[in-house]
Every structure is written in structure tokens, then in C-alpha cells.
Amino acid sequence: MTKLRSCVAVAVLVAMVAGVGAGLYARRQAAEQIALIDRVLLSGGQLPDWEPRLQRTLWWYPKNDQAWLQYGFLLQRDERFADAAVALGHVADSSEFHQEATFSRAKSLLSDGQYELGEVALRDHVAKYPRSIDAWDLYYLLLQEQFRQDELIESLRQRVLELRTSFQFLPLHLKAVASSSVAQKVESRLLAVHEKHPDQPCVLAALARAAWLKGERERAKELFLHLLPQSELRPRFAVWAAEFFLDTQDSPQARAFLQKIESPSELQLSDAPVYWFVEARASALEANYDQALEQIDQALKLKPAGAKFHTLRATVLRRLKREPEAIGSNEAAARYGAANEELYRQSTTIGQTPPAPDVCHRIAEMMRIVGHEEVADAWLDLEQTLRTGRPDRSEPDGR
């Protein structure tokens, strides 16, 4: 029995020594791995076999957020944007590096041409970090590139109201409102994105709209028809396609797209007026003028300053032999059209610094005419600031 006890004691002692040794070895290995991460990051990824070594280290120590962030940056440097997005997605929500990581991940997805996922990532980022100016700029560029002007105007309106005494977003909003009816050039990048990811609805729709604005109707038709089989097509894109086919007098095809919208309640606020306008155009093309009048009135309830809405209403009223009302609608269309034209002229002269107080006042008057009353008030506030010399104290910060 005594011998057995001695053997057990020796075994326990050996196990304890082994445990301590293993702990020291693990601690040494951990220190070496962390040192390896530091060497890789400090070298800017220039060490031989840096990537597999860093990957092994991160596999063992997956909570090193700074390493994941820098790993993502190195992959971005090498234009491996899809891999960079994966790496940056490992940075924890609670990390001090989370803000930079989520913005960089969104940029990586967009750079890789994954517009659908990139937009989701970007919207999540600005929702959590609403003062991230670089992210807002990227989001606005994305909306512009995809011809989503109504969304751009609404988003900028909200930023103007959040920062009432700041000039920063006023010229951006002005340019968006002024160019809403002006054809824009599509960058070649959008075509490259389509070649790499050909089935993204947002890219197909943007390219189709670009072709339409350039007068390339056959190309636009081909691209829009690629959207029709989409089971969950965004209502906005269905409205665009329907409006295009109405321009080509193809009412059945327009109806096919409108039927993909189960209810107007699916639409974003910025898309609803155009939806009712397109419905009214379809009804008018089918000579259903009473229904067309109801639908265009619905559009005008949501957007009273829509010049083209009033023009269509005048046409429908004439078909219904209601000439006095048609004249009134034509006058409204001319009034709103003239205001939009002046805003466009003003937008071409606005720079990075506030204009003269009189110009601010005139822009406010035109903004009020076209239905942007709250933004008009912001221009009046700016006018007052310029006249009294009161400084702008709400310049946003952050990234």
C-alpha cells in the first residue's frame, strides 16, 4: 500500500510539472504568435509567407481585432476585396476598431462589385455611426451611380435637418434636387461590376436606366427584361421598368412589372409618388381616364410639386373634357418647372463656401415652391447666419 501511494504521489508530481511546463510553453508560444502579428503588421505585409503565418496565428487567436483590421487593410492593398471583406467581418462589435472595420468592409464589398451586400453593410454602418462623414459620402455616391435620385434627395434632406446650421449638406441637397431630371453619365465601373456579378438587380436596373436616358432603347429593353423573372424584385426597379415600357407604348409589359408590386405599401416614401404616376400613365394609355385621374391625384398628394405629374393631370383632364381644370394643371406644371430650372442654375454656381445672403434667400423661395419647406427654412437660417455673422457651430466630425 505504501508503495502504491508513493507511485501515485510521483505521478501527481510529474503531472504537475508537465502542466506547468505546458503552460509555460503555451505562454511562450502565445507571446511568439503575438510578436509575429506585430512583425507582419509593422512590415506592411512584406515578410516572406506573411499571410499563411498570420492566418495560422489568427486561427489560434481569433479575438485579436487589431490584427483582423490590419489583415483586411493588407488584403485591400492587394485588391483582394472579397477576402478583405471576410477578414474585416471578424472584428468584434464591441471593439474599438469596429467603426473603421465596418466602413472598410463596406468599401471592400463595393470595390469587389458586390453592390447589394455592400449597400447593406454601408447602411448598417451609418445607422450605428451617423456622424461618419466618409461613409455618408460613399453612400451618396452609390445612390448617384444607380440613378436613385429620390432616395438621395430624401437622405440629404434628413442630414440638412439634423445639422440645421451647417452648410455642408445644403449644396449637396440642392444639386440632387436640381439634377433629378437631368440625365447623368454612368461610369465604366458599373459595366465592369455587371461583368463580374451579372445578376445583381441594382446594377441591371441602373444600366437599363442609363441606356434609357441615353436613348439606347433596345439595350434598355434587354436589361429591364432580365429583371422580370426576379422573384423578389425591389418595387423601385419594377416602377422604373414599367415607366420605360410606357415610354415605348408597351402597356402590357408595363403592367407585367407593376403586377410584381403586391401593394403600394411596399414602396419607400420616395418611390410612392412615381409609382402612382406610372399607374396613371398606364391607365391613360389604356383610355381609362377616370382611374388615371384618381391615380395622378394620389401621386400629387404625396408630391404636390411634381411638374410632370401636373402635366399628365392636364392631359387626362382634357381627355375628360374638363378644360378649365386642365389649364390650372398646366399653369402649376409651368410654375414648378420654372422653379426647378432656377434651382438647377443656382446649383451650378454653388461651391464649397456659402453664397451671398440674397442667393440663400432666393434658393429658399424656390425650395419652398417645389415642396422642400423644411430645407427652405434651413437656407433662411443660413441667410440669417451670414447677415448677423453668427458662426457655424455644428460642423460634424468623425469618420
CA 355/CA 156 separation, integer angstroms: 19
Eight-class DSSP state of 399? -
51: which 3 cell numbers? 499571410
**Amino acid letter, 120:** V
- Residue 201 belongs to domain with CATH number: 1.25.40.10
> Does 193 map to a domain?
yes
Per-residue confidence (pLDDT) for residue 67, from 0 to 100: 83
Residue 41: band (very low, low, confident or very high) from pLDDT cuts 50, 70, 90: low
pLDDT digits 0-9 by tens, 258-290: 998 887 777 776 788 889 999 999 999 999 999
Q: Which long-range contacts (CB under 8 A, 24 or more apart) does 258-261 make?
A: 258/282, 260/228, 260/233, 260/235, 261/235
74 and 219 housed in the same domain: no
201 and 73 housed in the same domain: no
Residue 17, pLDDT > 60, answer no
Domain hosting residue 66, numbered range: 33-145
**192 within 8 A of 183, measured Cβ to Cβ:** no
330 and 202 housed in the same domain: yes
> Does 153 map to a domain?
no
> Does 248 map to a domain?
yes
Per-residue confidence (pLDDT) for residue 398, from 0 to 100: 43
Residue 107, pLDDT > 70, answer yes
**315 within 8 A of 331, measured Cβ to Cβ:** no
Residue 395, pLDDT > 80, answer no
CA 284/CA 171 separation, integer angstroms: 37
> Does 103 map to a domain?
yes
Residue 59, pLDDT > 70, answer yes
Q: Which residues of 107-129 are buried (b: 16+ CB within 10 A; e: fewer)?
A: bbbbbbbbbebbbebbeebbeeb
SS3 274: helix
Residue 309, pLDDT > 70, answer yes
> Does 297 map to a domain?
yes
User: What is this structure's pTM?
Assistant: 0.72
224 and 337 housed in the same domain: yes
355 and 326 housed in the same domain: no
> Does 18 map to a domain?
no
Per-residue confidence (pLDDT) for residue 188, from 0 to 100: 67
Residue 48: band (very low, low, confident or very high) from pLDDT cuts 50, 70, 90: low
224 and 358 housed in the same domain: no
381 and 238 housed in the same domain: no
Q: Which H or E element spans position 41?
A: helix 2-42
Q: Is 147 left (phi over 0), alpha (psi -120 to 50) or beta?
A: left
255 and 239 housed in the same domain: yes
pLDDT digits 0-9 by tens, 70-99: 888 888 888 888 999 999 998 888 888 888
Residue 118, pLDDT > 80, answer yes
208 and 301 housed in the same domain: yes
**Could you give the number of structural domains in the chain?**
3
Residue 328: band (very low, low, confident or very high) from pLDDT cuts 50, 70, 90: very high
pLDDT digits 0-9 by tens, 354-380: 888 898 899 888 888 888 888 888 888
Per-residue confidence (pLDDT) for residue 186, from 0 to 100: 55
129 and 237 housed in the same domain: no
Residue 140, pLDDT > 80, answer yes
Which of 111, 145, 179 is a domain's end point?
145
**Radius of gyration, alpha carbons of the chain:** 29
**138 within 8 A of 110, measured Cβ to Cβ:** yes
> Does 395 map to a domain?
no
237 and 200 housed in the same domain: yes
Q: Is 321 left (phi over 0), alpha (psi -120 to 50) or beta?
A: left
94 and 197 housed in the same domain: no
Angle between helices 98-111 and 65-77 (to 10 degrees): 30
